[in-house]
Amino acid sequence: PGTPSAGPVTETSVGLSWAAATDDKGVKDYDVYRGAAKIATVTGTSYADTGLTKGTAYTYSVTARDTAGQTGPSSGTLTVTTPGGTVPPDPGDKVTLGYFTNWGVYGRNYHVKNLVTSGTAAKITHINYAFGNVQGGKCTIGDAYADHDKAYTADQSVDGKADTWDQPLRGNFNQLRKLKAQYPHLKVLWSFGGWTWSGGFGQAAANPAAFAQSCYDLVEDPRWADVFDGIDLDWEYPNACGLSCDTSGAAAFTHMMQAMKAKFGAANLVTAAITADASDGGKIDKADYAGAARYADFYNVMTYDFFGAWAAQGPTAPHSPLTPYAGIPQAGFNSAEAVAKLKAKGVPGSKLNLGIGFYGRGWTGVTQAAPGGTATGPAQGTYEQGIEDYKVLKNSCPATGTIAGTAYAKCGSNWWSYDTPATIAGKTAWAKQQGLRGAFYWEFSGDTANGELAAAVHAGLR
Protein backbone atom coordinates (compact mmCIF):
# COMPACT_ATOMS: atom_id res chain seq x y z
CA PRO A 1 0.00 0.00 0.00
CA GLY A 2 0.96 3.63 -0.40
CA THR A 3 2.44 5.66 2.41
CA PRO A 4 -0.43 6.93 4.60
CA SER A 5 -1.45 10.56 4.47
CA ALA A 6 -3.10 12.38 7.35
CA GLY A 7 -6.32 14.35 7.62
CA PRO A 8 -8.13 15.56 9.53
CA VAL A 9 -5.86 15.85 12.58
CA THR A 10 -7.22 16.98 15.94
CA GLU A 11 -5.71 17.10 19.43
CA THR A 12 -6.88 13.54 20.09
CA SER A 13 -7.35 11.89 16.69
CA VAL A 14 -5.63 11.31 13.36
CA GLY A 15 -7.43 10.38 10.15
CA LEU A 16 -5.38 8.15 7.86
CA SER A 17 -5.78 7.18 4.21
CA TRP A 18 -3.55 5.37 1.74
CA ALA A 19 -3.37 4.16 -1.84
CA ALA A 20 -4.62 0.59 -2.30
CA ALA A 21 -2.19 -2.29 -2.63
CA THR A 22 -2.34 -4.69 -5.60
CA ASP A 23 -2.03 -8.46 -5.54
CA ASP A 24 -2.56 -11.30 -8.01
CA LYS A 25 -4.91 -13.05 -5.56
CA GLY A 26 -6.70 -9.86 -4.47
CA VAL A 27 -6.28 -7.74 -1.36
CA LYS A 28 -8.34 -8.86 1.65
CA ASP A 29 -7.57 -6.24 4.29
CA TYR A 30 -4.95 -3.95 5.83
CA ASP A 31 -3.16 -3.93 9.18
CA VAL A 32 -2.63 -0.42 10.56
CA TYR A 33 0.41 0.13 12.79
CA ARG A 34 1.14 2.93 15.24
CA GLY A 35 4.87 2.54 15.74
CA ALA A 36 5.47 -1.20 16.17
CA ALA A 37 1.99 -1.92 17.53
CA LYS A 38 -0.85 -3.11 15.29
CA ILE A 39 -3.87 -0.99 16.20
CA ALA A 40 -6.46 -2.07 13.64
CA THR A 41 -7.33 -4.32 10.72
CA VAL A 42 -9.60 -2.73 8.10
CA THR A 43 -10.94 -3.70 4.70
CA GLY A 44 -10.91 -0.17 3.24
CA THR A 45 -8.08 2.28 2.66
CA SER A 46 -8.72 4.64 5.56
CA TYR A 47 -8.78 4.57 9.35
CA ALA A 48 -9.32 7.09 12.17
CA ASP A 49 -7.05 6.65 15.18
CA THR A 50 -8.66 8.15 18.29
CA GLY A 51 -7.94 8.60 21.99
CA LEU A 52 -4.57 10.21 21.34
CA THR A 53 -2.65 12.76 23.44
CA LYS A 54 -2.39 16.35 22.28
CA GLY A 55 1.01 17.72 21.30
CA THR A 56 2.39 14.21 20.69
CA ALA A 57 4.11 12.66 17.65
CA TYR A 58 2.76 9.38 16.27
CA THR A 59 4.20 7.26 13.45
CA TYR A 60 1.96 5.14 11.21
CA SER A 61 2.42 2.46 8.55
CA VAL A 62 0.14 -0.01 6.79
CA THR A 63 0.58 -3.63 5.64
CA ALA A 64 -1.71 -5.39 3.15
CA ARG A 65 -2.93 -9.00 3.35
CA ASP A 66 -4.19 -10.98 0.35
CA THR A 67 -7.01 -13.52 0.21
CA ALA A 68 -4.52 -16.32 0.88
CA GLY A 69 -3.52 -14.69 4.16
CA GLN A 70 -0.11 -13.57 2.99
CA THR A 71 1.15 -10.16 4.07
CA GLY A 72 3.11 -7.90 1.77
CA PRO A 73 5.82 -5.33 2.48
CA SER A 74 4.98 -2.47 4.78
CA SER A 75 4.14 0.95 3.40
CA GLY A 76 6.32 3.95 4.04
CA THR A 77 5.91 5.63 7.42
CA LEU A 78 4.06 8.84 8.25
CA THR A 79 4.76 10.83 11.40
CA VAL A 80 1.99 13.11 12.65
CA THR A 81 2.14 15.46 15.62
CA THR A 82 -1.23 16.18 17.21
CA PRO A 83 -1.80 19.88 17.90
CA GLY A 84 -2.13 21.41 21.34
CA GLY A 85 -0.07 20.95 24.43
CA THR A 86 2.84 23.15 25.39
CA VAL A 87 5.17 23.57 22.44
CA PRO A 88 8.29 25.44 23.50
CA PRO A 89 10.55 27.23 21.05
CA ASP A 90 14.16 26.16 20.69
CA PRO A 91 16.17 26.73 23.89
CA GLY A 92 17.87 30.05 24.35
CA ASP A 93 17.73 32.62 21.59
CA LYS A 94 18.67 30.34 18.68
CA VAL A 95 16.74 31.01 15.50
CA THR A 96 15.43 28.06 13.49
CA LEU A 97 13.75 29.49 10.41
CA GLY A 98 12.25 27.91 7.31
CA TYR A 99 10.90 29.40 4.10
CA PHE A 100 7.32 28.64 3.07
CA THR A 101 6.71 29.31 -0.62
CA ASN A 102 3.29 30.47 -1.78
CA TRP A 103 3.64 28.60 -5.09
CA GLY A 104 4.19 25.33 -3.21
CA VAL A 105 0.42 24.95 -2.78
CA TYR A 106 0.11 24.16 -6.51
CA GLY A 107 2.23 21.42 -8.12
CA ARG A 108 4.10 20.59 -4.96
CA ASN A 109 0.85 20.21 -3.01
CA TYR A 110 2.60 21.52 0.11
CA HIS A 111 0.40 23.44 2.52
CA VAL A 112 0.70 25.05 5.96
CA LYS A 113 -0.91 21.93 7.42
CA ASN A 114 2.16 19.93 6.34
CA LEU A 115 4.14 21.82 8.96
CA VAL A 116 1.90 20.20 11.57
CA THR A 117 1.71 16.66 10.15
CA SER A 118 5.50 16.54 9.64
CA GLY A 119 6.19 17.68 13.21
CA THR A 120 8.15 20.66 11.87
CA ALA A 121 5.96 23.36 13.43
CA ALA A 122 7.17 22.33 16.88
CA LYS A 123 10.83 22.56 15.78
CA ILE A 124 11.02 26.06 14.31
CA THR A 125 10.95 29.57 15.72
CA HIS A 126 10.31 31.57 12.53
CA ILE A 127 8.69 31.22 9.12
CA ASN A 128 9.56 33.40 6.14
CA TYR A 129 6.57 33.55 3.80
CA ALA A 130 7.89 33.85 0.24
CA PHE A 131 7.41 35.98 -1.69
CA GLY A 132 5.82 39.35 -1.95
CA ASN A 133 6.73 41.37 -5.02
CA VAL A 134 8.50 44.73 -5.33
CA GLN A 135 6.95 46.86 -8.08
CA GLY A 136 6.78 50.57 -8.79
CA GLY A 137 8.76 51.38 -5.65
CA LYS A 138 6.30 49.51 -3.44
CA CYS A 139 5.72 46.17 -1.72
CA THR A 140 2.92 44.33 -3.53
CA ILE A 141 1.07 41.01 -3.23
CA GLY A 142 2.90 38.08 -4.81
CA ASP A 143 0.02 35.68 -5.49
CA ALA A 144 -3.34 36.92 -4.27
CA TYR A 145 -5.06 33.56 -4.75
CA ALA A 146 -2.54 31.50 -2.79
CA ASP A 147 -1.88 34.25 -0.25
CA HIS A 148 -5.39 35.13 0.89
CA ASP A 149 -8.13 33.71 -1.34
CA LYS A 150 -7.68 29.95 -1.85
CA ALA A 151 -10.43 28.03 -0.04
CA TYR A 152 -9.30 25.12 2.15
CA THR A 153 -11.41 22.06 2.80
CA ALA A 154 -11.59 20.54 6.27
CA ASP A 155 -9.05 17.80 5.50
CA GLN A 156 -6.57 20.36 4.11
CA SER A 157 -6.93 22.85 6.95
CA VAL A 158 -4.63 23.19 9.95
CA ASP A 159 -7.50 22.92 12.42
CA GLY A 160 -9.71 20.51 10.45
CA LYS A 161 -12.30 23.22 9.72
CA ALA A 162 -13.27 24.14 6.17
CA ASP A 163 -13.19 27.69 4.86
CA THR A 164 -16.54 29.26 4.04
CA TRP A 165 -17.33 31.31 0.94
CA ASP A 166 -17.98 34.49 2.88
CA GLN A 167 -15.15 34.55 5.43
CA PRO A 168 -12.94 37.66 5.19
CA LEU A 169 -9.58 35.84 4.94
CA ARG A 170 -8.71 32.50 3.36
CA GLY A 171 -5.59 31.11 1.68
CA ASN A 172 -2.18 30.66 3.25
CA PHE A 173 -2.55 33.72 5.47
CA ASN A 174 -5.57 32.23 7.24
CA GLN A 175 -3.81 28.88 7.56
CA LEU A 176 -0.79 30.63 9.10
CA ARG A 177 -3.16 32.36 11.53
CA LYS A 178 -4.51 28.95 12.56
CA LEU A 179 -0.97 27.59 12.87
CA LYS A 180 0.05 30.42 15.19
CA ALA A 181 -2.99 29.73 17.35
CA GLN A 182 -1.68 26.19 17.91
CA TYR A 183 2.01 27.15 18.11
CA PRO A 184 2.02 30.57 19.76
CA HIS A 185 5.82 30.78 19.90
CA LEU A 186 6.03 31.04 16.09
CA LYS A 187 6.99 34.30 14.41
CA VAL A 188 5.97 34.78 10.78
CA LEU A 189 7.68 37.27 8.48
CA TRP A 190 6.57 38.27 5.00
CA SER A 191 9.55 38.06 2.68
CA PHE A 192 9.74 40.35 -0.36
CA GLY A 193 11.83 40.01 -3.48
CA GLY A 194 13.73 36.79 -4.06
CA TRP A 195 15.69 35.86 -7.16
CA THR A 196 12.84 36.55 -9.60
CA TRP A 197 11.43 39.74 -8.08
CA SER A 198 14.56 41.59 -6.92
CA GLY A 199 14.59 43.83 -10.02
CA GLY A 200 12.20 46.24 -8.32
CA PHE A 201 14.48 47.07 -5.40
CA GLY A 202 16.54 49.60 -7.34
CA GLN A 203 13.52 51.86 -7.88
CA ALA A 204 12.38 51.27 -4.29
CA ALA A 205 15.82 52.30 -3.00
CA ALA A 206 15.42 55.73 -4.60
CA ASN A 207 12.85 56.63 -1.94
CA PRO A 208 13.40 54.35 1.07
CA ALA A 209 10.83 56.08 3.30
CA ALA A 210 8.04 55.74 0.73
CA PHE A 211 8.99 52.13 0.10
CA ALA A 212 8.97 51.35 3.83
CA GLN A 213 5.55 52.99 4.16
CA SER A 214 4.13 50.88 1.34
CA CYS A 215 5.52 47.70 2.88
CA TYR A 216 4.16 48.58 6.30
CA ASP A 217 0.73 49.32 4.86
CA LEU A 218 0.66 45.92 3.14
CA VAL A 219 2.10 43.79 5.95
CA GLU A 220 -0.11 45.52 8.51
CA ASP A 221 -3.26 45.39 6.39
CA PRO A 222 -6.12 44.90 8.90
CA ARG A 223 -7.18 41.69 7.13
CA TRP A 224 -3.98 39.90 8.14
CA ALA A 225 -1.98 42.18 10.44
CA ASP A 226 -2.11 39.58 13.23
CA VAL A 227 -0.50 36.96 10.97
CA PHE A 228 2.83 38.75 10.52
CA ASP A 229 5.51 39.66 13.02
CA GLY A 230 7.64 41.69 10.65
CA ILE A 231 9.22 41.88 7.22
CA ASP A 232 12.12 40.20 5.46
CA LEU A 233 13.87 41.76 2.46
CA ASP A 234 15.44 39.35 -0.03
CA TRP A 235 17.30 41.71 -2.38
CA GLU A 236 19.46 39.74 -4.80
CA TYR A 237 21.64 41.80 -4.84
CA PRO A 238 22.20 45.41 -3.72
CA ASN A 239 24.75 47.21 -5.93
CA ALA A 240 25.55 43.90 -7.68
CA CYS A 241 24.13 41.46 -10.21
CA GLY A 242 21.55 38.69 -9.76
CA LEU A 243 18.85 38.03 -12.34
CA SER A 244 19.40 41.70 -13.21
CA CYS A 245 22.08 44.16 -12.16
CA ASP A 246 21.65 46.93 -9.59
CA THR A 247 23.66 50.16 -9.57
CA SER A 248 22.04 51.99 -6.67
CA GLY A 249 25.30 52.26 -4.71
CA ALA A 250 26.90 50.68 -1.66
CA ALA A 251 24.80 52.71 0.82
CA ALA A 252 21.38 51.96 -0.72
CA PHE A 253 20.81 48.79 1.28
CA THR A 254 21.67 50.55 4.54
CA HIS A 255 19.24 53.38 3.80
CA MET A 256 16.51 50.88 2.99
CA MET A 257 17.00 48.86 6.17
CA GLN A 258 17.14 52.06 8.24
CA ALA A 259 13.83 53.23 6.77
CA MET A 260 12.24 49.83 7.35
CA LYS A 261 13.26 49.68 11.00
CA ALA A 262 12.11 53.25 11.57
CA LYS A 263 8.70 52.42 10.11
CA PHE A 264 8.13 48.93 11.52
CA GLY A 265 9.54 49.79 14.95
CA ALA A 266 10.85 47.70 17.79
CA ALA A 267 7.64 45.66 18.02
CA ASN A 268 8.28 44.09 14.61
CA LEU A 269 11.18 42.14 13.18
CA VAL A 270 13.12 43.52 10.22
CA THR A 271 15.44 40.96 8.61
CA ALA A 272 17.15 40.32 5.29
CA ALA A 273 18.50 37.46 3.21
CA ILE A 274 22.00 38.38 2.05
CA THR A 275 24.71 37.11 -0.25
CA ALA A 276 27.39 34.65 0.84
CA ASP A 277 29.84 35.59 -1.94
CA ALA A 278 33.09 36.16 -0.05
CA SER A 279 35.33 36.33 -3.12
CA ASP A 280 37.65 39.32 -3.46
CA GLY A 281 35.56 42.18 -4.80
CA GLY A 282 32.49 39.94 -4.70
CA LYS A 283 28.95 40.69 -3.63
CA ILE A 284 29.71 41.06 0.12
CA ASP A 285 32.14 43.83 -0.85
CA LYS A 286 29.56 45.63 -3.00
CA ALA A 287 27.20 46.84 -0.25
CA ASP A 288 27.53 48.09 3.33
CA TYR A 289 26.19 45.00 5.10
CA ALA A 290 27.75 46.08 8.41
CA GLY A 291 26.02 49.47 8.29
CA ALA A 292 22.69 47.90 7.41
CA ALA A 293 23.09 45.31 10.19
CA ARG A 294 22.50 48.07 12.76
CA TYR A 295 18.86 48.07 11.65
CA ALA A 296 18.43 44.31 11.12
CA ASP A 297 17.28 41.90 13.78
CA PHE A 298 19.24 39.25 11.88
CA TYR A 299 20.55 38.28 8.46
CA ASN A 300 19.92 35.00 6.69
CA VAL A 301 23.20 34.31 4.87
CA MET A 302 22.42 32.36 1.70
CA THR A 303 25.22 29.83 2.05
CA TYR A 304 24.00 27.58 -0.77
CA ASP A 305 23.89 27.66 -4.57
CA PHE A 306 27.62 28.38 -4.70
CA PHE A 307 28.01 25.85 -7.53
CA GLY A 308 25.56 24.17 -9.88
CA ALA A 309 24.84 23.01 -13.40
CA TRP A 310 24.55 26.53 -14.78
CA ALA A 311 28.20 25.57 -15.36
CA ALA A 312 26.95 22.78 -17.60
CA GLN A 313 30.31 21.07 -18.19
CA GLY A 314 31.27 21.20 -14.52
CA PRO A 315 33.47 20.86 -12.65
CA THR A 316 31.16 19.07 -10.23
CA ALA A 317 31.20 20.73 -6.83
CA PRO A 318 28.97 20.78 -3.72
CA HIS A 319 26.47 23.62 -3.89
CA SER A 320 26.71 24.34 -0.15
CA PRO A 321 30.28 23.73 1.07
CA LEU A 322 30.85 24.62 4.70
CA THR A 323 34.59 25.15 4.27
CA PRO A 324 37.11 25.63 1.46
CA TYR A 325 38.71 22.49 0.03
CA ALA A 326 41.48 21.62 -2.40
CA GLY A 327 40.16 22.09 -5.91
CA ILE A 328 37.17 24.28 -5.04
CA PRO A 329 36.21 26.02 -8.31
CA GLN A 330 35.96 29.53 -6.83
CA ALA A 331 37.79 30.97 -3.83
CA GLY A 332 35.49 32.55 -1.26
CA PHE A 333 32.49 30.43 -2.25
CA ASN A 334 31.82 28.63 1.03
CA SER A 335 30.03 29.24 4.32
CA ALA A 336 33.06 29.66 6.56
CA GLU A 337 34.68 32.35 4.45
CA ALA A 338 31.36 34.18 4.01
CA VAL A 339 30.75 34.31 7.76
CA ALA A 340 34.36 35.28 8.45
CA LYS A 341 34.20 38.13 5.94
CA LEU A 342 30.93 39.47 7.31
CA LYS A 343 32.33 39.38 10.84
CA ALA A 344 35.52 41.12 9.70
CA LYS A 345 33.44 43.92 8.22
CA GLY A 346 31.66 44.40 11.55
CA VAL A 347 28.54 42.24 11.38
CA PRO A 348 28.22 40.43 14.73
CA GLY A 349 27.84 36.66 14.61
CA SER A 350 24.77 37.02 16.80
CA LYS A 351 22.98 38.57 13.80
CA LEU A 352 23.89 35.81 11.32
CA ASN A 353 21.95 32.66 10.48
CA LEU A 354 23.60 29.87 8.49
CA GLY A 355 21.72 28.82 5.35
CA ILE A 356 20.96 25.17 4.55
CA GLY A 357 19.37 23.85 1.36
CA PHE A 358 16.67 21.20 1.56
CA TYR A 359 17.51 20.24 -2.03
CA GLY A 360 20.43 19.14 -4.14
CA ARG A 361 22.04 20.40 -7.32
CA GLY A 362 23.32 18.00 -9.91
CA TRP A 363 24.89 17.26 -13.26
CA THR A 364 24.61 14.39 -15.76
CA GLY A 365 27.19 12.85 -18.04
CA VAL A 366 29.58 12.50 -15.11
CA THR A 367 32.08 9.63 -14.94
CA GLN A 368 34.11 10.66 -11.87
CA ALA A 369 32.64 9.92 -8.44
CA ALA A 370 34.76 12.48 -6.57
CA PRO A 371 34.04 16.21 -6.92
CA GLY A 372 35.80 18.02 -9.75
CA GLY A 373 34.60 15.83 -12.60
CA THR A 374 33.39 16.97 -16.01
CA ALA A 375 29.74 16.82 -17.06
CA THR A 376 27.56 17.23 -20.15
CA GLY A 377 24.72 19.24 -18.57
CA PRO A 378 22.26 19.46 -15.70
CA ALA A 379 20.74 16.30 -14.25
CA GLN A 380 17.00 15.91 -14.63
CA GLY A 381 14.88 17.24 -11.76
CA THR A 382 11.19 16.97 -10.95
CA TYR A 383 10.44 20.67 -11.44
CA GLU A 384 13.49 22.00 -13.25
CA GLN A 385 16.81 20.71 -14.52
CA GLY A 386 19.76 20.56 -12.18
CA ILE A 387 17.83 20.73 -8.92
CA GLU A 388 15.90 18.15 -6.88
CA ASP A 389 14.31 17.91 -3.43
CA TYR A 390 16.11 16.08 -0.65
CA LYS A 391 13.06 13.87 -0.13
CA VAL A 392 13.59 12.50 -3.65
CA LEU A 393 17.38 12.33 -3.67
CA LYS A 394 17.71 10.43 -0.38
CA ASN A 395 16.09 7.46 -2.13
CA SER A 396 16.92 7.99 -5.82
CA CYS A 397 20.60 8.86 -5.35
CA PRO A 398 21.82 8.14 -1.79
CA ALA A 399 24.94 9.95 -0.62
CA THR A 400 28.22 8.20 -1.47
CA GLY A 401 30.68 10.64 0.10
CA THR A 402 31.24 13.93 1.88
CA ILE A 403 33.31 16.98 0.98
CA ALA A 404 33.69 20.26 2.86
CA GLY A 405 31.00 19.37 5.40
CA THR A 406 28.30 18.41 2.90
CA ALA A 407 27.31 15.25 1.05
CA TYR A 408 27.59 14.20 -2.58
CA ALA A 409 26.29 11.24 -4.53
CA LYS A 410 27.01 9.58 -7.88
CA CYS A 411 24.36 7.29 -9.32
CA GLY A 412 24.71 6.19 -12.91
CA SER A 413 26.00 9.21 -14.80
CA ASN A 414 24.35 11.69 -12.42
CA TRP A 415 26.23 13.56 -9.70
CA TRP A 416 24.38 15.40 -6.93
CA SER A 417 25.35 17.32 -3.81
CA TYR A 418 23.01 17.95 -0.90
CA ASP A 419 22.79 18.06 2.89
CA THR A 420 21.69 15.12 5.01
CA PRO A 421 20.81 14.85 8.71
CA ALA A 422 24.46 13.92 9.35
CA THR A 423 25.94 16.92 7.52
CA ILE A 424 23.36 19.23 9.08
CA ALA A 425 24.57 18.05 12.49
CA GLY A 426 28.06 19.16 11.52
CA LYS A 427 26.91 22.49 10.13
CA THR A 428 24.78 23.38 13.15
CA ALA A 429 27.60 22.44 15.51
CA TRP A 430 29.85 24.79 13.53
CA ALA A 431 27.21 27.55 13.67
CA LYS A 432 27.08 27.27 17.46
CA GLN A 433 30.87 27.27 17.71
CA GLN A 434 30.93 30.46 15.63
CA GLY A 435 28.38 32.14 17.91
CA LEU A 436 25.80 32.49 15.16
CA ARG A 437 22.19 33.37 15.88
CA GLY A 438 20.93 30.11 14.37
CA ALA A 439 20.17 28.55 11.03
CA PHE A 440 17.56 28.76 8.29
CA TYR A 441 16.61 26.68 5.29
CA TRP A 442 15.16 26.86 1.82
CA GLU A 443 12.52 25.46 1.90
CA PHE A 444 10.03 23.31 3.80
CA SER A 445 8.63 21.28 0.88
CA GLY A 446 12.00 19.72 0.05
CA ASP A 447 11.98 17.81 3.34
CA THR A 448 10.56 14.34 3.95
CA ALA A 449 6.96 13.85 5.07
CA ASN A 450 8.20 13.38 8.64
CA GLY A 451 10.45 16.45 8.53
CA GLU A 452 13.77 14.73 9.11
CA LEU A 453 15.94 17.64 7.94
CA ALA A 454 13.99 20.18 10.01
CA ALA A 455 14.38 17.84 12.99
CA ALA A 456 18.13 17.68 12.36
CA VAL A 457 18.45 21.48 12.34
CA HIS A 458 16.40 21.74 15.53
CA ALA A 459 18.41 19.04 17.30
CA GLY A 460 21.70 20.48 16.14
CA LEU A 461 21.01 23.92 17.60
CA ARG A 462 19.83 22.69 20.99
Q: Active site residue: 236, 337, 388, 443, which one?
A: 236
Asked if residue 406 is part of any domain, the answer here is no
- Out of 22, 57, 81, a domain closes at 81
Residues 130 and 276 in one domain: yes
Contact criterion met (CB below 8 Å) for 461 and 125: no
The pLDDT assigned to 88 comes to 45
Residues 6+ apart with CB under 8 A from 402: 408, 423
Alpha helices by DSSP H, 250-358? 252-264, 283-286, 289-293, 335-345
Residues 190 and 306 in one domain: yes
Residues 109 and 252 in one domain: yes
d(CA 69, CA 248): 72
Contact criterion met (CB below 8 Å) for 250 and 243: no
Q: Which residues of the chain have pLDDT under 70?
A: 85-92
Residues 263 and 288 in one domain: yes
pTM for this one? Answer: 0.82
Asked if residue 115 is part of any domain, the answer here is yes
Asked if residue 369 is part of any domain, the answer here is no
**Helix, strand, or coil (residue 439):** strand
Residues 103 and 77 in one domain: no
Asked if residue 396 is part of any domain, the answer here is no
Residues 118 and 77 in one domain: no
**CA nearest neighbour of 204 among 195, 194, 214, 196:** 214
Domain holding 244: CATH number? 3.20.20.80
Asked if residue 38 is part of any domain, the answer here is yes
The pLDDT assigned to 92 comes to 57
**Helix, strand, or coil (residue 429):** helix
- Out of 40, 55, 81, a domain closes at 81
Residues 335 and 264 in one domain: yes
Residues 22 and 145 in one domain: no
Residues 115 and 189 in one domain: yes
d(CA 115, CA 157): 11
Residue 26 CA, chain-centre distance (Å), reads 41
Asked if residue 456 is part of any domain, the answer here is yes
Asked if residue 430 is part of any domain, the answer here is yes
Domain holding 23: CATH number? 2.60.40.10
Residues 42 and 99 in one domain: no
**Helix, strand, or coil (residue 406):** strand
Q: Look up the domain containing 192 and give its range.
A: 95-358+423-461
Catalytic residue list contains 11: no
Burial bucket for residue 197 (CB in 10 Å: 0-12, 13-18, 19+):
buried
Residues 9 and 110 in one domain: no
pLDDT in tens, 48-92: 999 888 777 788 999 999 998 889 999 988 888 888 765 444 445
**CA nearest neighbour of 215 among 131, 275, 151, 278:** 131
The pLDDT assigned to 91 comes to 45
State the total domains in the chain.
2
Residues 296 and 254 in one domain: yes
The pLDDT assigned to 85 comes to 64
Residues 6+ apart with CB under 8 A from 285: none
Asked if residue 394 is part of any domain, the answer here is no
